[in-house]
Chain A
Amino acid sequence: MENMIELRNVSKEFKVLNRREGLKGSIKDLFSRDYKIVRAVDNISMNIKQGEIIGYLGPNGAGKSTTIKMMTGVLEPTSGEILVGGNIPYKNRTKNAQEIGVVFGQRSQLWWALPLIESFKLLKDIYQISNSDYNSMLALYQSLVDIEPLLHKPVRQMSLGQRTLSDILAAFLHNPKIVFLDEPTIGLDVSMKAKIRTLIHALNKEKHTTVILTTHDMGDVDALCQRIVIIDKGKMLYNNDIEHLKGFFGSYRTLKIRIDGELKQQAKVIQEELPDFSVSADEEWISILVDEEKATVMEVLNQLQQSHEIRDMQLEEISTEEVIKKIYEEGVE
């Protein structure tokens, strides 16, 4: 399989004015040449193969959007090389645009006043899609989602969920090689999220479209991504399979127990007994994050049983969400 996207030592710097406080400061700023350089993206390299779904993750302000903008040709990298489907995006912006589809979760790119089907027809002209390709794509859409009720509705009358669905369909319409999805499930209800994930998955399978997905919802990642890339403060922290990720900090499992007494207080007591592991409590359970390289779950359970009467217990594998949270908070050693 060939590489669809290649990034080699890509960095992006912005010049930002050092702002001063107060009105006096603002006036001084008018004449100031006091700039500082901010590295939004710092020396990132990666390859993405055809047909992959990549989860591109990172806390707010990590540099995700900047990277996406460079890959879509809106921004020019300060240094490094980017190839998207064989094109240098910022040099051949229009040519690149023909090969990619972009969805921003909260910014619809469809014509606000037009019914969806009319937007589709315009896109057919703009991307010069042949009749047969267009019809087979519409047939595919019809088999995947119930689009009939959407087709004749102006975009501005749609709910957020319907609009996102429409935007995704529009992004795939010209059968692009790569689709960038920026937080596609933001603000959606559970059933709509599931619907959208199923749709993205099906389109990826059917058309072998490469998908770059940025999201803060680990449900999206678990449902769709084989591989994730995590960046923070512009630097790449992680670039590997999602399976590998779970063993990344050693092998963690969460032991949940229920005991008598005030759980919050009991949790503190247990924390003192088990200084190696993090202990927390909610209304029902005390959760202990067990690092199995230090002690097995059974050992911990035995130890706990000596001093507490355990009423009930559960064992959970660590969720992607928790791993990502740990990476955001602690970084990677």
Chain B
Amino acid sequence: MKRKGLGFYLRIYRKILIQDIKSKMSYRADFIISTIGMIFTNIAGFVSFWILFRNFPSINGWNYYEMLFLYGFSLISLTPVQCFFDNNWSLRTYVYSGDFIKYCFRPINLFFYYQSEVFDIKGLGQLAFGVGTLIYSWNKIGLAVTPLMLLKVILFLITASLVMIALQNAAAATCFWIQNSFYVLDLVLKFKDYAKYPITIFSPVFRFIFTFIMPVAFIAYYPSLVILRPDAVPILSWLSPFIGCLFFWLSYKFWMYSAMKYSGTGS
């Protein structure tokens, strides 16, 4: 048996992905409706944001374009969780019905095998929206376009996306321990909405919560500071890539540990 490295997993993921997209596109009406739905969801989100900021030219020293930057940044960093880890939402149903056991018999990583089953194509619209918003605000703020800046923004985007993935993994894995983990997942999802605001607008209590307890501030706010406020970057911003990786690793361990303890229902 050959060793199963990253290349092995990437090759399998690519194959599953191609097949999955092919099969989704074969249900044409379904595909078109969900694409339209996705566009409208994004427009609605943007419009509510725009209405809010038309009335306030700046919030706590953050002007409209900086807010827009933050918004775009959060949309992009929330894309991977939507695209690649959407099967977390079905986890509790599989566990409850006992169907989860079918994932336990393959000679590959359980976490990978489970998550690879679903690719949510709707996330791609969000990505396009986010990239558009980010480029637009980047221009308007007059940020420089240098290789270093691009490298920075890409690195911080990727590591920021790990934070939300970690939160969702951990929330989903609670279903191995409690009957209905939907509320936990839903709670995490609701907190996600606060990611697009600078945390300085919240009271100290919430600032603490968003940084240390439900660390949604690492999804956009802290990493964005590195680009937007290069003169006064707090230490937490520089730490955010490590925090993203650490959280992801911890959530993965928790997910796997919980799944291994799982014994399935009788049949």
In the complex, chain A residues whose CB is within 8 Å of the CB of B102: 104, 107-109
Task: List residues 40-80 of chain A with CB under 8 A from any CB of chain B.
Answer: 61, 65-66, 69, 72-75
Segment of A90-98, A272-280, A309-317 engaged in the interface with chain B: A90-98
Cα-based distance from A94 to B113 in the complex (angstroms)? 12
Contact A98 B23 (CB under 8 A): no
Flag whether B267 is at the interface (Cβ < 8 A).
yes
Segment of B12-20, B132-140, B198-206 engaged in the interface with chain A: B12-20
Chain B interface SS verdict (over half): helix
In the complex, chain B residues whose CB is within 8 Å of the CB of A14: 263
B24 (CB) vs chain A CBs: closest residue: A113
Cα-based distance from A95 to B12 in the complex (angstroms)? 18
A214 (CB) vs chain B CBs: closest residue: B267
Contact A72 B105 (CB under 8 A): yes
Tally of contacts, chain A with chain B, CB under 8 A? 72
Contact A65 B19 (CB under 8 A): no
Q: How far is the CB of B111 from chain A (nearest CB, A)?
A: 12
Contact A113 B23 (CB under 8 A): yes
Flag whether B125 is at the interface (Cβ < 8 A).
no
Assuming the A-B contacts A74-B101, A75-B263, A109-B102, are A114 and B12 also in contact, with contact meaning beta carbons closer than 8 angstroms in the complex?
Answer: no
Task: List residues 83-110 of chain B with CB under 8 A from any CB of chain A.
Answer: 98-99, 101-102, 104-108
Contact A61 B266 (CB under 8 A): yes
Contact A69 B15 (CB under 8 A): no
CB within 8 A of B2: which of A104, A122, A128?
Answer: A128
Contact A111 B117 (CB under 8 A): yes
- Please list the residues of chain B having a beta carbon within 8 angstroms of any beta carbon in chain A: 1-2, 8, 11-12, 15-16, 19-20, 23-24, 98-99, 101-102, 104-108, 117, 263-264, 266-267
In the complex, chain B residues whose CB is within 8 Å of the CB of A182: 267
Contact B12 A109 (CB under 8 A): no
Chain A interface SS verdict (over half): mixed
CB within 8 A of A126: which of B104, B108, B267?
Answer: B108
In the complex, chain A residues whose CB is within 8 Å of the CB of B16: 111, 122
Q: How far is the CB of B176 from chain A (nearest CB, A)?
A: 13
Assuming the A-B contacts A94-B108, A127-B107, A128-B1, are A74 and B263 also in contact, with contact meaning beta carbons closer than 8 angstroms in the complex?
Answer: yes
A-B contact pairs, 5 of them (CB 8 A): A74-B104, A97-B107, A109-B102, A113-B23, A113-B24
In the complex, chain A residues whose CB is within 8 Å of the CB of B15: 121-122, 125
Q: How far is the CB of B9 from chain A (nearest CB, A)?
A: 10
Assuming the A-B contacts A111-B19, A128-B2, are A122 and B105 also in contact, with contact meaning beta carbons closer than 8 angstroms in the complex?
Answer: no
B11 (CB) vs chain A CBs: closest residue: A125
Q: How far is the CB of A13 from chain B (nearest CB, A)?
A: 12
A 152-183 binary contact with B (CB < 8 Å = 1; else 0): 00100000000000000000000000000011
CB within 8 A of A65: which of B1, B20, B99, B266?
Answer: B266
Tell me which of A72, A98, A113 has the highest count of chain B C-beta atoms within 10 A of its own C-beta.
A113
Q: How far is the CB of A221 from chain B (nearest CB, A)?
A: 19
Contact B105 A100 (CB under 8 A): yes
Flag whether A118 is at the interface (Cβ < 8 A).
yes
In the complex, chain A residues whose CB is within 8 Å of the CB of B19: 111, 113-114, 118, 122
